[in-house]
Structure 1
Amino acid sequence: MTATPAETQAPTPHGAQPVSEEDAHERVNRRWAEILQETRVAQTGVQILFGFLLSVAFTPRFGDLGAFDTSVYVLTVILGAAATGALIAPVSLHRLLTGERMKDDLVAVAGRLMVTGLVLLALTISGTVLLILHVVLPDQLAEVLAGGVLLWFALCWYALPLWLKKRAERRHGTSD
């Protein structure tokens, strides 16, 4: 006897609508589609920021930057290039390895690349903030504010998701 759709649905917390359980193939396809969508969002931001950074070297005031600001600029450009590479890599993986029956591996690697790219993006944005604020504010204030921006990213992008995951694990009694 075949199970009805209602019988194959997973229980849901807090009165949410039941969701049909997905098989491993459906789950990896969904996760891959999510990664590609996340990549589209992140790529736009990193590409605009990277383009801005590249144009800074061609402004009249660039030659007036001191050694510290020049070092921050160079490091920030390198971080931006690395972030761009990591965040675009899932697209390359998809294009070059489609049809190779490696989607589980692609999802795992692309997920790690996305996290790496987001770390690099947070560092790039913080470096950009430091560079801009260092030009218009006293040195230490610029550094404190840029550090605050980096801390904000760490809280929003990493600490909050980890906290929510731990809370859900405690609520559901799991820790996988």
Structure 2
Amino acid sequence: MERAEDDRDHGRDETPEERADRRWNELLQELRVAQTGVQILFGFLLAVAFQPRFAELSTTDRNIYLVTVMLGAATTGALIGPVSFHRLLTGRKLKPETVRWASHLTVVGLVLLLCTMASTLLLILRLVLDDTLALWLVAGMMAWFLACWLALPLWARARYATEFVDQQGETTQK
């Protein structure tokens, strides 16, 4: 089978199918980390409604809880979605497309996870702190998450990459 020319130039000697397999395996490793955290968080959120103090929550806190649970459910769906994509498309010679769609779902899941974390923090911090301080702490933590999850990777990409191979295997200059 002929190897893609751009792969040899980038230190990888792999066909488009091999590249899709590698990217799929890398994506699965990333999803394992995210899914574990989401499952723990979602389990915690579901248990909150059964705690004695839940009945004492204000209408605002109940609404925040409702939004948080829905965000947690949406996050779970987005981060488990790639498994369904793979299962339903396996054997149809659509691996590169499957990887691309699964990657998009993973990014959506990470955005939803950020929102779920913000909402969870807001709910918890409103119960133990002044509302204004709670909002400032949530904003600070969201800035931290954005720095870790977005700013640092984008900085590294800009700093160290002079060219990259896009999803279709095309070499693009920075």
> Normalising to structure 1: TM-score of the pair?
0.85
1:174 deviates by 2.3
2:167 counterpart residue number: none
1:52 counterpart residue number: 44
1:60 deviates by 0.6
CA distance in 1, matches of 2:141, 2:12: 41
Higher RCO (CA 8 Å, separation ≥ 6 residues): 2
RMSD: 1.9
Question: What letter is aligned with 1:48?
Answer: I
CA distance in 1, matches of 2:141, 2:118: 6
Given candidates 140, 148, 155, the residue that maps to 1:148 is 140
1:55-74 paired onto structure 2 within 5 Å: 55-74=47-66
Instruction: Flag structure 1 segments of 5+ consecutive residues without an equivalent.
Output: 1-7, 12-18
2:89 aligned with 1:97: yes
1:21 counterpart residue number: 13
Given candidates 111, 120, 123, the residue that maps to 2:115 is 123
1:57 deviates by 0.7
1:162 counterpart residue number: 154
**Which structure: larger Rg?**
1
CA distance in 2, matches of 1:20, 1:75: 45
Aligned residues: 161
Given candidates 68, 80, 102, the residue that maps to 2:72 is 80
2:173 counterpart residue number: 174
**How big is each residue's C-alpha offset from its partner over 1:4-60, in whole Å with a ceiling of 9 and x where there is no partner?**
xxxx9657xxxxxxx442222211110011111211111111011001001101111
Question: What letter is aligned with 2:92?
Answer: E
CA distance in 2, matches of 1:114, 1:88: 9
Runs of 4+ in 1 over 3 A off after TM superposition: 8-11, 169-173
CA distance in 1, matches of 2:61, 2:82: 33
**How big is each residue's C-alpha offset from its partner over 1:118-170, in whole Å with a ceiling of 9 and x where there is no partner?**
11111111111111111011111111111111111111111211121122245
CA distance in 1, matches of 2:149, 2:136: 20
2:168 counterpart residue number: none
**How many percent of aligned residue pairs carry the same amino acid?**
54
2:34 counterpart residue number: 42
